[in-house]
């Protein structure tokens, strides 16, 4: 019974880590002065351009902003399934 209660209130920090990551992203977006809508638009355009040359896994694609000191970096994790022989127009 005690174990159940402990698991109920201590979910291995899962929700804590998710909340922490969301807050970090909000702060980075705020410091970079970029709205979430603009980041989504940027992500869509990156997908469109890269898809001309490569087959990518859009469901696993991640595009984020990362802050380090006074600089902000665009970090993209784009799983490539394969290359296209001819670029699509």
In a domain, 88, yes or no: no
CB 55 within 8 A of CB 83: yes
In this predicted structure, what is the pLDDT of residue 84?
87
User: Is 70 exceeded by the pLDDT of residue 74?
Assistant: yes
In a domain, 52, yes or no: yes
Task: Please identify which residue in the block is written with the tokens 């469109």.
Answer: 48
In this predicted structure, what is the pLDDT of residue 29?
59
Tokens (6 digits) for 22: 């969301």
Q: What is the pLDDT of residues 20-72, one digit of tens each?
A: 777 776 666 566 677 778 888 888 898 899 999 999 998 888 888 777 777 77
Element (H, E) at 59: none
For the chain, what is the domain count? Answer: 1
Full domain range(s) for residue 8: 2-83
In this predicted structure, what is the pLDDT of residue 21?
72
Q: What is the pLDDT of residues 4-19, one digit of tens each?
A: 555 555 555 567 777 7
């Amino acid at each position: 019974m005690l174990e159940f209660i402990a698991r109920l209130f201590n979910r291995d920090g899962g929700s804590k880590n998710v909340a922490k990551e969301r807050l970090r992203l909000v702060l980075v977006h705020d410091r970079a002065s970029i709205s979430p809508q603009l980041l989504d638009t940027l992500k869509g355009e990156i997908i469109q351009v890269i898809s001309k040359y490569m087959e990518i896994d859009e469901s696993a694609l991640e595009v984020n902003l990362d802050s380090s000191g006074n600089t902000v970096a665009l970090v993209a994790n784009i799983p490539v399934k394969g290359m296209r022989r001819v670029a699509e127009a």
